[in-house]
Amino acid sequence: MARSQALQHAWQAFDSGDFLRQLEARVAVRSESQEAGRDDELRRYLTDFVIPDIEKLGFTWEIVDNPVDGFGPFLLAERIEAEAALTLLTYGHGDVVRGYDGQWREGLSPWRIVVEGERWYGRGTADNKGQHTLNLAALESVIAARGGTLGYNVKLILEMGEETGSPGLKAVCEAHRDRLSADLFIASDGPRLSADSPTLFLGSRGSFNFDLRLRARDGAHHSGNWGGVLSNPATRLANAWSTLVDAHGRILIDGLRPPAIPAAVKEAVASLEVGATPGDPPIDPNWGEPGLLPPERLFAWNTLELLAIKAGNPEAPVNAIPGEAYAHCQLRFVVGSDRERFLDHLRQHLDAHGFEDIEVSSARMSQMNATRLDPTDPWVTWALASMRESSGKTPTLLPNLGGSLPNDIFAETLGLPTLWVPHSYPACSQHAPDEHALASIVREGLGIMAGLWWDLAEQGRDIVKERERWHR
């Protein structure tokens, strides 16, 4: 048995076309969790494509119905070895966002992989079918190279509702806490910092979505006949927003700002470059919290964004004062933020500035809490070393993803150290038409994950002991 054999086996799956064919079959399933009437497709993704493959690897499994009515099921699976040194929990989601079939470039389809050079086009190639399929393929390679024995247990939870906010995931993890118990969590989602840089992130920023609404009166009124004597809810809402965030994107409410950036986090992001990949939008140097570098603003600070605003009829404006105005807003926040009192802080601030008439409420979307594994944790050092050996590159360490994932459920509800190794890149068109994976990242990712699964067998027991000493 040799580490190199496992990596070669994983790369052969790519070079032979086997991995692409496997992914093609999975992409063809219209597992759109945001669309009504897709229940059969969500379940079929598990029964027809995931379960047969993991059974070959020695997994036992159970499909668990979502405790929240109307949302997709969960697959819980485990591969247990006698006298295993430790237990790994991994995760993925088989649901995708809407296909937007008619919006893809001519010749492309969300439900059929089209290969154009480096790009593999298709819905889910990046988010997240391609990523969890890759991880399981790499695991298969390591099992084969080690003669069918890993020396550790593997548990899997695959959900079919992540794109609708992961409803039911926390409840399922709480109900099956013992079954999902583990020493370590490793999974893949989101993008690398850049296409050519293997990346490890340790958590994610949280997300808190809220609505601002002002209903002044029923219906609109002619702006010539009533302008100057009727208040304009759109004007008031715009002025209220200007007290929350200044003209350069700086948050003006202390209760929505995070504490000072920890030294270990500052060190981890100090050398990162944001927006350097071709296709990335140019960075606005004077936007956001003053005195912070772009990577600090993106990965280590809070941001408050106005995502949508509506008053009147934007598509066909008329000369009328609207009776109502509405804004949908989002706070992305890091660990240490006062997450339990965001609504209170907003309410108090609006009242103090004379906007008692503006209603503020949490949005329908579920909140995801911020998480961040300590960058000095022994598991982090171990993972970076493994990734470096497999790729021949110095991996990028992100203390947390700039976006949000349900990592709080794994880190807080299950109490696990969490490592994420993404196999996509920022310009992959995730959630948009023309979503794609990059072949070079897929091949490199297969080697990286095979290396991690192999090294976990060889070194995992020692890291568990080291971590126990580190915690003392």
At residue 291, the 3 state secondary structure works out as coil
Contact predicate 146/9, CB 8 Å: no
Q: Hey, which bits of 80-142 come out as E strands?
A: 87-93, 114-116, 119-121
At residue 184, the 3 state secondary structure works out as strand
In which residue are the tokens 């956001």 written? 288
Contact predicate 98/35, CB 8 Å: yes
What 8-state DSSP symbol labels residue 229? T
Residues of the chain with pLDDT under 50: none
Beta-ladder partners of 92:
158
CA 423 – CA 452 distance, rounded (Å): 14
**Quick one: pLDDT at residue 276?**
78
How do the residues of the chain divide into helix, strand and coil, expressed in percent and rounded to 5? 35, 20, 40
**Quick one: pLDDT at residue 435?**
98
**Quick one: pLDDT at residue 366?**
61
Contact predicate 223/319, CB 8 Å: yes
CA 198 – CA 445 distance, rounded (Å): 8
**Quick one: pLDDT at residue 367?**
78
- The whole-model pTM stands at 0.91
**Quick one: pLDDT at residue 280?**
81
What are the tens digits of pLDDT across the range 140-151? 999 999 999 999
In which residue are the tokens 């409803």 written? 167
CA 261 – CA 266 distance, rounded (Å): 6
**Quick one: pLDDT at residue 364?**
66
Q: DSSP H helical segments within 146-232, as ranges?
A: 169-175, 223-226
What are the tens digits of pLDDT across the range 349-408? 999 999 999 999 998 666 789 999 999 999 999 999 999 999 999 999 999 999 889 999
Sorted by where each starts, the structural domains of the chain and their CATH numbers stand as: 3-204+370-471 (3.40.630.10), 207-258+302-362 (3.30.70.360)
Give how far Cα 361 sits from Cα of 5, 22, 355, 356, 368, Å: 55, 44, 14, 13, 16
> Which amino acid type is present at position 339?
R
